[in-house]
Amino acid sequence: MRVRPGRLAPAALALALATALLAPAGTAAASGGTGPVRLVPPESLAARWKEGRFEAGRGQGMTWLTVTTDGRGSPAFAASAQPVAPALDLRGKFLRVWLRVEDVSRLAGMELRLSSDGFATSWFGFAVPLFADDEFNLVHSGPWATLTFGFGAAQVVGTPDRARIDSIGWAVTDRAAGPVVAQLGGVAFEDEPAQAVVSLTFDDGYDEHVTVAAPAMKRYGFRGTAYVMPEQIGQAGYMTREQLAALRDTYGWDVAAHHDRPFTSFAPDELERTILGVQRFLLANGFGRGAGHLAYPLGKQEPKVVLPLAREHFFTARVASGGAETLPPADWHQLRAFNVLRTTTPDELQQAVRRAKQHKEWLILMLHWLVDAPTRDTELAPATFEEMLRRIAAEKVAVRPVSEVWQVAR
C-alpha cells in the first residue's frame, strides 16, 4: 500500500510557480491568503561590482538572471538597478526565491540581500546553506530549486529598516577552482503564519525515546515524532513494538519512517521496495499517521532518484540540518532541522526558539541518543534535555508532532 500526498501534483505545482514568476513586479497577494506581496523579476537586477558576468535569460515560460563568476573566488554582486518603488514593507513576511546552479561543487557561497538604503551601509543577508557533501544540500547541481528564508535566519549588517526595503541584491562566490554558472529566477515575499511551532523529532528508535524522552515531554504537554528503522525494532537498545505502541497511545507521538542506510546508496528499484517495506511495517502495526512522514537516513538526498520517490510516497521528508523552517516550507520533502548536539547548550536552544517565535517559523529539533555520560556528538544528557524542555515551555510556543503541522499548514 502506498501513502501518497493528497495535494497538487509536483508538475502542476512547478507550472503554477513558473506562471506566478512572470507576473508584473507590482502583483499583489490575494486578500486574506498567504502569497507574494510582490514578485521581483530577475531582469530588474544589474551588476554592481565588476567581477563576474550577468545576463538575462528566458525559456520554458520563465525569466532569469544568469551569473558566471570569474573563477578566482571574487564575489559577483547584482542589485536593483533602480530603487524599488514604493518601498517594500516586509514586516510579517518571509522570502521565497528560485535558484539554479550548474555545478554546486564549485560554489563557495550565495546570498540574497535586502537593503533599505540602496546597500550604502545596511542590509539583511540570507545565505544559501552549503555543505561539502552535496547530498546534504537543498540546492543540487542542475535542477531549479525553491528556497524560503525567514528573517530569523538573516545576518544583519548595519541598521536596515524591514519596513522600507528599497533594494534587492544577489551575491555569488566560487571556490577559486573555476567559474560558477548560477541563475536567479525571481524573489517573492509571503505572509508569515499566525504563530511559531516547535517539533521535537527523534531519529533511529532508541529505547530511551520512550523511557526518558516521552515521560519528560509529557510533563510539559509536549508530543514528539519518532523516526524509526523497522529492521532495528526489538534489537538491543532499540524500542520494541509494544514500546512503539506506548509512544502512540500513551504519549500521543507520531511513529514515522526512517532507515539504517542512506537512501542515496540504493538502486532506484531497490529503494522503492525498501520505502514500501518501511511503510508496510508502520501500517501493519497501526502507525498510519506517521507512515507518510520520513527522515532521510543521515539526512542524505538527491534530485534524480531519492527526491522523486520521497515525493511520490511521503507527505513530508526531513533533512538533517539547515536551521528553522518557514510555514509553508519551500519544499515539504526537504524540511530543514536544528540538530541538537552534545555541544548545544540550553541557552542556544532557547535563543533558537525565541527567533522562531519572533519570526513565526517552524523549528524542527532533531535529537538522537539520551545518555547519562555523552561522548558522541549526537548524544545528550537527560538532565540537559530536561532543561531544554523547561526553556521551550518558558517561551510558551506551540509544540506539535510533524504530522499535525503538515495537516494544518499544507
pLDDT of residue 48: 86
Nearest Cα to Cα of residue 83 among 52, 50, 108, 120: 120
Nearest Cα to Cα of residue 273 among 302, 232, 333, 313: 313
pLDDT of residue 38: 57
Inter-CA distances, 266 with 227, 274, 277, 305, Å: 19, 9, 14, 9
pLDDT digits (tens, 9 = 90+) for 116-125: 999 999 999 9
Superfamily in which the 197-409 domain is placed by CATH: Glycoside hydrolase/deacetylase (3.20.20.370)
CB neighbours of residue 157 within 10 Å:
14
The backbone torsions φ and ψ at residue 384, rounded to the nearest 5 degrees and listed phi first, read -65, -40
pLDDT digits (tens, 9 = 90+) for 97-118: 999 999 999 999 999 999 999 9
* Binned average pLDDT, 10 residues per bin, the chain of 410 residues: 33 28 28 46 82 89 92 95 92 96 97 97 97 95 96 97 96 97 94 97 98 98 98 97 98 98 96 97 97 98 98 98 97 98 98 98 98 97 98 98 96
The backbone torsions φ and ψ at residue 402, rounded to the nearest 5 degrees and listed phi first, read -60, -40
What is the distance between the alpha carbons of residues 143 and 69, in angstroms, rounded to a whole number?
Answer: 19
- Domain residue spans of the chain: 10-23+33-191, 197-409
Contact 56, 127 (CB under 8 A): no
pLDDT digits (tens, 9 = 90+) for 135-170: 999 999 999 999 999 999 999 999 999 999 999 999
pLDDT of residue 45: 86
Helical (H) or strand (E) element with 223: none
Contact 178, 379 (CB under 8 A): no
SS (H, E, C) 286-333: CCCCCCCEEECHHHCCCCCCHHHHHHHHCCEEEEEEECCECCCCCCCC
Out of 3.40.50.2000, 2.60.120.260, 3.20.20.140, 3.30.365.10, which CATH number does the structure's domain 10-23+33-191 have?
2.60.120.260
What is the distance between the alpha carbons of residues 109 and 130, in angstroms, rounded to a whole number?
Answer: 7
Nearest Cα to Cα of residue 91 among 25, 17, 142, 160: 160
The model's pTM: 0.90
What is the distance between the alpha carbons of residues 89 and 97, in angstroms, rounded to a whole number?
Answer: 18
Inter-CA distances, 405 with 76, 288, 340, 363, 364, Å: 39, 16, 20, 11, 11
- Three-class secondary structure of residue 165 per DSSP: strand
Contact 170, 69 (CB under 8 A): no
Residue 406 C-alpha cell reads as 503538515
Residue 227 C-alpha cell reads as 523516526
CA 338 to chain centre: 10
Name the CA dihedral angle for 326, 328, 330, 334, rounded to a multiple of 10 degrees.
Answer: 80
Helical (H) or strand (E) element with 335: strand 335-339
